[in-house]
Amino acid sequence: MEMSRLHKVLNTIVWVIIGILGIYILGYGMKGQSFAKAAYACMKALTGSENGLRRAAEKSLYPGLAYMAGDREPSYTLEELLIRKAAGIFPLYSYLDEKEVYETEIESQAAYDRLVEGGAHDENEINEQTGEAFDIAEKMEEENLQAAHEQEQAALQEQEQSGRILGTEYTAEQLADFDFLRNSFYIVENNTDISAEVLNAENLLNRDMRIGQDNSNPQILIYHTHSQEGFVDSVAGDNSTTIVGVGEYLTELLRDEYGYNVIHNTNVYDFIDGELDRNQAYALAEQEVQQILAENPSIEVIIDLHRDGVKEGTHLVTEVNGKPTAQFMFFNGLSYSKRNGVIDYLPNPYIEDNLALSLQLKLASEKYYPGISRKIYLKSLRYNLHLRPKSLLVEAGAQTNTLEEMMNAMEPLAFVLHEVLGGGEIIEE
């Protein structure tokens, strides 16, 4: 009888404890805490001051529980095991926990501000030791490099035999195939994505990218978010041997050869207090570009000219008209996360216009200068491409190219820009 009464008392105590735990966990849930956090707090409260009980439980219960859970070599404490198994019973909580952390640490407005301050929103990856930017697209391109090289050599050989430039013009039927379009012309970074609705060739190619023929006022702005980007033979302290000098040559070509009214902004955004500092380059560039646009509302086209960063053994070069010429790549930011969709705090009403401009330039490059243009690179953030419908970011060559190769690349780049922006017609004074 005494044993039965004792059993009932113990049973009542157990259920009271379970009830208290339930209320405690529910309270944590109402306060916005996760199940795992609540369970952990409860277990800590129960076991923190009961060392003897915990040791006894570990000796008597834990090995059996671990064995039944499939862990043949236990490595967790009792509370850790129970928390892991409790969270496993409620996979929705685990999913919400993970999603909450992702949104909070990666894509909240406050986090984006920290990314801007920390430079992590760069279009390239940053080498923390040197501050240099290195292209993550290169990793995704490596498997295609050999095939692309073989195709390029075959095209060059055929070109030499025929005595004319051989390029490729794609049919509407080919470009209407979303898989063909995406796989043939784009590299899509893992953290973003693009749909057939947005990447619609008919829509993008029907958008008129031509600018006004009146060149009495500024039409094109060229600037450099990363003005300190140099080449294998750049001279320290001489901006004419960096991407700024290359941008000046592109400006001269567009002015003198094709008749555009071009502003070349050579101001510096990535060299602060005598040191290379890209932490706020995009934010600083945006402020000044906005001011230039306010003073020159006639500007229709904005080009942010960069050079890429690649492995030291990579040489982005081809041959155009017998001259060694750096390859270039058009770049788009989509303001879109694969995981959470549209990034609301990075609005860009001109994404499809941006995509139309880069695709039309890519196709012109394929037609007139096969091998000169790498695949268009798509990344998740914005990169100041929201400032005008015809906004363009170009990665020309890399740090392993020579200044001569870079200058040579501006000639075909100016040509395809004119093909798209001017319809191939020379602008009269």
How far is the C-alpha of 43 from the C-alpha of 316, rounded, in Å? 59
Q: Is the pLDDT of residue 343 over 60?
A: yes
* Averaged pLDDT for residues 182-187: 97
- What percent of the chain lies above the pLDDT cut of 90? 56
The residue type at 242: T
Banded pLDDT at 392 (limits 50, 70, 90)? very high
Residue 315 has pLDDT above 60, yes or no: yes
For residues 225 and 244, give the distance between their C-alpha atoms in angstroms, rounded to a whole number.
10
Q: Which residues neighbour 211 within 8 Å (Cβ) at sequence distance 6 or greater?
A: 219, 220, 300, 301, 390, 421, 422
Beta 336-337 vs 262-264: how paired, if at all? Answer: unpaired
Query: How large a percentage of the chain has pLDDT more than 70?
Result: 60
pTM: 0.67
Domains of the chain with bracketed CATH: 2-106 (no CATH), 127-421 (3.40.630.40)
Q: Please choose, from the candidates 263, 388, 248, 373, the residue with its C-alpha nearest in 3D space to the C-alpha of residue 308.
A: 373
pLDDT at 102 over 50: no
> What whole-number distance in Å separates Cα of residue 91 and Cα of residue 103?
18
Look at residues 253, 246, 216, 268 and name the one whose alpha carbon lies nearest to residue 411.
Answer: 253
The reported pLDDT for the residue numbered 360 is 98
Query: Cβ-count burial of 131 within 10 angstroms (0-12 exposed, 13-18 middle, 19+ buried)?
Result: middle
User: Is pLDDT of 51 > 60?
Assistant: no
Asked whether 175 and 332 are in contact (CB, 8 A), the reply is no
**Whole-number Å distance between alpha carbons of 418 and 395:** 18
**Which pLDDT score is estimated for 12?**
75
Distance CA 105, CA 82 (A): 27
> Whose CA is closest to 373, among 383, 363, 382?
363
Name the token pair of 13: 């105590």
Please, which residues have CB within 8 angstroms of residue 320's CB and are 6 or more apart in sequence?
369, 372, 408, 411, 412
pLDDT tens by residue, 199-212: 999 999 999 999 98
Which pLDDT band holds residue 270 (cuts at 50, 70, 90)?
Answer: confident
Q: Which of 218, 180, 257, 281 is nearest to 416 (CA)?
A: 257
User: To 5 degrees, how large is the angle CA 52–CA 55–CA 58?
Assistant: 150
User: How many CB atoms sit inside 10 A of residue 223's CB?
Assistant: 22
- Helix axis angle, 91-106 to 78-89, nearest 10°: 100
The reported pLDDT for the residue numbered 109 is 45
